[in-house]
Amino acid sequence: MKSNYFMGNGQFRIRDEEIPSIGAQEVLIRVAACGICGTDVHIFHGDQGSVDVHPPVVLGHEFSGVIEAVGPEVSRFKPGDHVTVDPNIYCGACPYCRKGKKQLCANLFAIGVNRNGGFAQYCAVPQNQCFLLAPDIPLRYGAMTEPLACCLHGIDRAHIVPGDTVLIIGCGAIGLLMLQLAKLQGASRIIVSEPVALRREIALKLGANLAVDPIHESLHDVVLNGLDGLEPDVIIECVGNTAAVRQAFETAGRGTNVLLFSVPVPGATHPLSLMDVYKKELTITGSMINPDTHSNAAALISAGKIRFDEIITHSYPLEKLHEAIMMQMSDASIKVIIEP
C-alpha cells in the first residue's frame, strides 16, 4: 500500500509498505477520504497539533472508509461496514478524564497526529474509535464527521437557544458547519462576516440572513443596522487570527456569549477591555476537540441533515498531498480532501 509520511519541515514522502496488521480489538480501514484540517496546516508549518507531533508520521485525522478486516475480539463491526473515525484517544485515568472533561486529557493520543492516520490507503484503528455511517451516504461526507463533531461541542458551549441572533466570523468549512448547526439549534437570524466573496455567497445559500465583507464594511455598524440597534446573542469566531478576535469583541453587546472556536497561532494574544467584560457581562468560551459528540455527528450526516457539496471544493490523490495543503491555505478553496 501507499502512505504519505510527514517528515517535518514541510516535507512529505510517499512510502510503499505492507498493509498494517491489526490487533485483537482493531479494524483495518480502506481509507476512502481524508480531509485536510487547519491543524494539519499548523503541523505543516512546524506548530503543535492537538498533541505533540514526532515525524515521520502519517497525518490525517478526518477520515472515513470501508472496513476490510476485523480483529478476533471485534464485535461491533464487520467487513464492508462504512465507518468514520474519532481520532482522539483518551487515557481515562488522569484527573481531567475522571472529572468528565476528557477533551482536556493530560495523556491525549490522536490518530493522524502522533499515530499513523488517514493520509494512506489503509489504516489500523481501535474499534472503539469507529462509528457507523449509512451505506448510501458518500464517504467523502463521512470524512467531515470529525470537524462536525468538534463544531457540535462548540455549539454546546455557545449555548444557543431558539430565537437567538448568531454572528459567525469566518466562513471556511468550520464557519459553514457552524452556520448549519446554529440553524438546527433554532437561531432566528444568522449573520456571517467573511472577506471572500465565494464564501459569503455559499453562506447565504446555506441559510445566512446577512453576509458582511469586513474588509470594506464596518462589521459593527452593519450588524447593528441589520438588527435595528440590537446586538447578537452569540458570536462564534472561526478564523484563528487576532483581527477576527478583535471583531468579535468589538461587535459583542450586553450579555453576548463569545465562542473563540478556531485554533490560534501559538503565542497569539489579544488585549481585552476588562471593563467591557464587566459592564456587558460577556461570556467568553473556548472549545477543545470533540468529547462524546462523534456519534451525534455521524447520525446527522447519515440522516442527511448537513450539506457538504458546497463546502467540499477540491479533492486530490494521495501523491499530491503537498499541493492539496497549499490549496487548503488558499482563498480559492473551502474544504480540501484527499482520496487515497
Q: Would you say residue 22 lies in a domain?
A: yes
Whether 39 maps to a domain, the answer reads yes
| Residue pLDDT, tens place only, 178-211 | 999 999 999 999 999 999 999 999 999 999 999 9
Q: Which of 252, 270, 286 is the last residue of a domain?
A: 286
Using a cut of 0.75, tell me whether the model's pTM lies above it: yes
CATH number (domain holding residue 93): 3.90.180.10
Residues 266 and 319 in one domain: no
Tens of pLDDT, residue by residue over 133-146, are 999 999 999 999 99
> Grid coordinates in use for 339?
482520496
Query: Could you tell me if 190 and 124 lie in one domain?
Result: no
In a domain, 70, yes or no: yes
Domain check: are 75 and 186 in the same one? no
Confidence of residue 268 (pLDDT cuts 50, 70, 90): confident
Any domain includes 120: yes
- Output the CA angle 299-183-179, nearest 5 degrees: 90
One domain, residues 272 and 171: yes
Residue numbers of the domain that contains 213: 151-286
Q: Are residues 229 and 281 in the same domain?
A: yes
* One domain for residues 252 and 321: no
Q: Where in the sequence numbering do the catalytic residues fall?
A: 39, 42
pLDDT at 48 exceeding the cut of 70? no
Residue 327 and residue 273 share a domain? no
Distance CA 2, CA 302 (A): 29
Q: Does residue 190 sit in the same domain as residue 132? A: no
Q: Is residue 220 part of a domain?
A: yes
Residues 302-329 have pLDDT tens digits of: 999 999 999 999 999 999 999 999 999 9
Does residue 249 sit within a domain?
A: yes
Whether residue 265 is found in the same domain as residue 163: yes
pLDDT for 119 beyond 70: yes
Residue written as cell 514541510?
Answer: 10
Which pLDDT does position 120 carry in this prediction? Answer: 98
At 9-29, the pLDDT tens digits run: 899 999 999 999 999 999 999
Last residue within a domain, chosen from 286, 301, 319: 286
- Residue whose C-alpha is closest to residue 59's, from 74, 79, 45, 80: 45
Residue 242's identity, in one-letter code, is T
Clarify whether residues 157 and 282 are in a common domain.
yes
- Separation of alpha carbons 239 and 54, rounded Å: 26
pLDDT at residue 215, as a whole number: 92
79 and 180 part of one domain: no
Does residue 39 sit in the same domain as residue 120?
A: yes
Encode the chain in three state secondary structure. CEEEEEEECCEEEEEECCCCCCCCCEEEEEEEEEECCHHHHHHHCCCCCCCCCCCCECCCCEEEEEEEEECCCCCCCCCCCEEEECCEECCCCCHHHHCCCHHHCCCCEEECCCECCCCECEEEEEHHHEEECCCCCCHHHHCCHHHHHHHHHHHHHHCCCCCCEEEEECCCHHHHHHHHHHHHCCCCEEEEECCCHHHHHHHHHCCCCEEECCCCCCHHHHHHHHCCCCCCCEEEECCCCHHHHHHHHHHCCCCCEEEECCCCCCCCCCCCCHHHHHHHCCEEEECCCCCCCHHHHHHHHHCCCCCCCCCEEEEECHHHHHHHHHHHCCCCCCEEEECC
Domain count, the chain: 2
Residue 147 burial (10 A CB sphere; 0-12, 13-18, 19+) = buried
Q: What are phi and psi of 3, to 5 degrees?
A: -130, 145
Side chain identity at residue 326, one-letter code: M
By the 8 A CB rule, do 316 and 12 touch? no
Radius of gyration of the chain (CA): 20
Residue 300: inside a domain: no
Q: Which residues contact 157 (CB under 8 A, 6 or more apart)?
A: 259, 285, 286, 287
What confidence tier does 220 reach under pLDDT thresholds 50, 70, 90?
Answer: confident
Residue 291 covered by a domain = no
Q: What is the CATH number of the domain that holds 202?
A: 3.40.50.720
**Amino acid 50: pLDDT:** 64
